[in-house]
Amino acid sequence: MSDFDNAWKEAIDAFFEPFMAFFFGEAHHEIDWARGFEMLDKELQQIAPESEQGRRVADKLVKVWRTNGQDEWVLVHVEVQSQQETQFGERMFVYNYRLFDRYNRRVASFAILGDDRPGWRPDRFGYELWGTKVGIQFSTAKLLDYGADEAALELSPNPFAAVVLAHLKTLETAHDDEARRVSEVRLVKGLYERGFSPEQIRQLYRLIDGMMSLPRPLAELVYQEIYDFEKEKNMPLISTAERIGLEKGLADGLVKGREEGREEGLLAGIEVALRIKFGQSGLALLPEIRQIDGVGLLRTILDAVPQAESPDALRRLWPKA
């Protein structure tokens, strides 16, 4: 299953200014980017209605400063909605007024509509009763509209053009894994032609790869093709494909160990993680680790592998014989 929510959250975190420039140019022009911005996601969750608690959505709340000549900060509320939802407009209204009530600051609400229904375009909510009118009208961007000019998305220097194209191709290939594999390879190779830095390419590749979820055999074909491509490009240090493969392999090891929860499962997870993180030098630790008695310490070792700088750093976690 494609993970739109986490991919969009990470993308907005990593490229918030390009996000606003790509979708909402007028607002972008009126934000004082020189003063920076502050993500307030935890604060957003604190004002969420009880019925929304625990809901997996790509919500973002950002504190920004205006360029209107006044020392004024305001709030940008963003929702990415990947499925049609009857009460979406009402939810935008509730979040907006609760944020205004809490901060006593102006709140601009924006919606990214990433569903597959061309006619679903909510942009307001309100009601009237006995002469009283309340409601909200908010700005939206319908991702399907951008699919009319894929060539422009492929050429755009804005990183969010790549994110939008990945989203559209994920919808388009919902029932065709091979077509999705081809699209992912084309997308990632195209990143090198847009003038992105190596770090931006790595970030975008990770986002695209998370969004365009593939069965493991096809995912490995993607990694291999990108690895060969990067080798031809003489990419320095560890390649993007190697990094993505490393992260996924470590995740597999961690999940395997935690799910089984027993010594055998934890040892299996540790072996996978060590092999991918350190190769043979990591596997050399296994005889010592297998002598450890206690699930708690094994779980600590497993969780420590991704951040460990060396096998020796891990060795400090358990008593010496």
Write out pLDDT tens, residues 224-243.
Answer: 788 788 778 776 444 555 55
The more confident residue out of 299 and 103 is 103
Could you tell me which residues come within 8 angstroms of residue 136 by beta carbon, excluding any fewer than 6 positions away? 89, 92, 93, 96, 97, 109, 124, 125, 126
pLDDT of residue 56: 47
Cβ proximity of 75 and 45 under 8 Å: no
pLDDT of residue 246: 54
pLDDT of residue 238: 42
Residue indicated by tokens 């493969």: 245
Q: Locate 239 and state its tokens.
A: 């390649």
Give dist(CA 125, CA 127) in Å, integer: 7
pLDDT of residue 158: 95
The more confident residue out of 57 and 215 is 215
The more confident residue out of 229 and 22 is 22
Residue indicated by tokens 């990947």: 82
Mean pLDDT of 201-213: 86
pLDDT of residue 41: 82
pLDDT of residue 316: 86
DSSP state of 50: G
Q: Do the strands 107-113 and 73-81 form a parallel or antiparallel pair, or are they unpaired?
A: parallel
Helix (H, G, I), strand (E, B) or coil at 216: helix
Dihedral, 297, 298, 299, 303 alpha carbons, nearest 10: 100
Q: What percent of the chain has pLDDT over 70?
A: 86
Q: Which helix (H) or strand (E) is 207 found in, with range?
A: helix 198-211
Lowest-pLDDT range of 16-30, 174-188, 269-283: 269-283
Taking the chain, what is the end-to-end CA distance rounded to the nearest angstrom?
46
**Which pLDDT band holds residue 216 (cuts at 50, 70, 90)?**
confident
Q: What percent of the chain has pLDDT over 90?
A: 48
The more confident residue out of 266 and 127 is 127
Give dist(CA 187, CA 209) in Å, integer: 10
Cβ proximity of 267 and 295 under 8 Å: no
Q: Is the pLDDT of residue 222 over 80?
A: yes
**Which pLDDT band holds residue 253 (cuts at 50, 70, 90)?**
low
pLDDT of residue 57: 55
Cβ proximity of 263 and 295 under 8 Å: yes
What b/e string do you get for 239-252 counting C-beta neighbours within 10 Å, with b at 16 or more? bbbeebbeebebee
**Dihedral pair phi/psi, residue 193, rounded to 5°:** -95, 5
Q: Is the pLDDT of residue 257 over 70?
A: no
pLDDT digits (tens, 9 = 90+) for 139-157: 999 999 999 999 999 999 9
SS3 content of the chain, % helix, strand, coil (to 5): 60, 15, 30
**Dihedral pair phi/psi, residue 187, rounded to 5°:** -60, -50
**Which pLDDT band holds residue 31 (cuts at 50, 70, 90)?**
very high
Lowest-pLDDT range of 46-60, 66-80, 283-297: 46-60
pLDDT digits (tens, 9 = 90+) for 69-123: 777 899 999 999 999 999 999 999 999 999 999 999 999 999 999 999 999 999 9
Q: Is the pLDDT of residue 46 over 70?
A: yes
